[in-house]
Amino acid sequence: PFADLDLERQQRTGYPETVFGEGKTAEQITAIIEKFRENEQVVLCTRISPEKAHYVSQKIAQAKYYQTARCLVIGDKMTASPDSYIAIVSAGTSDIPITEEAAVTAETFGNRVERVYDVGVAGIHRLFEHLDVIRGAKVVIVAAGMDGALASVVGGLVASPVIALPTSIGYGSSFNGLSALLTMLNSCAEGVTVVNIDNGFGAAYSASVINHM
């Protein structure tokens, strides 16, 4: 069999196994979802193209597709407690596909999300206008490509944990996100940890664990 599903993961880590859609066929994805649904878990699939989403939706009626985020969710989102929330802060308009992957993941896993988009350091007053929302979050995700400088700036302004999410936005010596990744790993502000380039899912997963504490 092509897949050996980790059905006990929810019990072990608090969350079910997520289906990473890249490099799997629509048939494989459908079969995996059906297997998980036997256990009545909510299933989150990431990196799903519109074509694959279309195929799966025809087989599995309740599948809901989030196009910008390229996510497919089957089953009800976990219930969010409204008191605490995750802030997702981004530098530019082009980061939105990645931040929406993070947002849909966080909401599926039962979190309230506040989006603060397009507040990169080239016009830093935009960030300060939203500082209350950002400081009020239990945990903050900061997404940026190019220079990735936003993570350090936010890291210096808040007391909550910051998860830095480098994106592959940029050109030339951004080297598909390497520049932003290195910037964030070398943040001169403390309290900043980093996930892989374009890993919106991973950033939201870790944020969710912290937000539910």
Ligand X SMILES: Nc1ncnc2c1ncn2[C@@H]1O[C@H](COP(=O)(O)O)[C@@H](O)[C@H]1O
Q: Where do contacts with ligand X occur on this chain (CB under 6 A)?
A: 17-20, 46-47, 92-94, 118, 122, 188, 190, 199, 201-202
Residue 14, token pair as written in the block:
């608090």
Residues 26 to 85: which contact a second copy by CB under 8 A? 28
Q: In the complex, what is the shortest distance from the CB of residue 36 to ligand X, in angstroms, rounded to a whole number? A: 11
| Binding map of a second copy across residues 184-213, x = CB under 8 A, - = no contact | xxxxxxxxxxxxxxxx-xxx-xx--xx--x
Check residue 118 for interaction with Mg ion (CB under 5 A).
yes
Q: Which stretch binds a second copy (CB under 8 A): 34-42, 53-61, 75-83, 173-181?
A: 173-181
User: Which of these ranges, 34-42, 52-60, 69-77, 171-179, lies near a second copy under the rule CB under 8 A?
Assistant: 171-179
Measured CA to CA, the distance from residue 182 to residue 179 in angstroms comes to: 5
Smallest gap from residue 32 Cβ to Mg ion (A): 8
Residues 53, 26 contacting (CB under 8 angstroms): no
> Among residues 55, 77, 131, 147, which is the contact residue for a second copy, using CB under 8 A?
147
Q: Which is nearer to ligand X, 101 or 139 (CB)?
A: 101
Contact of residue 46 among a second copy, Mg ion, ligand X, none (CB under 5-8 Å per partner type) = ligand X
Whose CB is nearest to ligand X?
92
d(CA 48, CA 103): 15
Interaction partner, residue 158 (ligand X, Mg ion, a second copy, none; CB < 5-8 Å by kind): a second copy
> Which of 67-86 are b and which e, b meaning 16 or more Cβ less than 10 Å from the residue's Cβ?
eebbbbbbbebeebeeebbb
Shortest Cβ distance from residue 2 to ligand X (Å)? 9
Q: For residues 83 and 95, is the Cβ–Cβ distance under 8 A?
A: no
Report d(CA 52, CA 124) in Å as an integer: 39
Smallest distance, ligand X to C-beta of residue 101, A:
7
DSSP string, 68-115: TTTEEEESPPPPPPSSSEEEEEESSGGGHHHHHHHHHHHHHTT-EEEE
Distance CA 32, CA 67 (A): 21
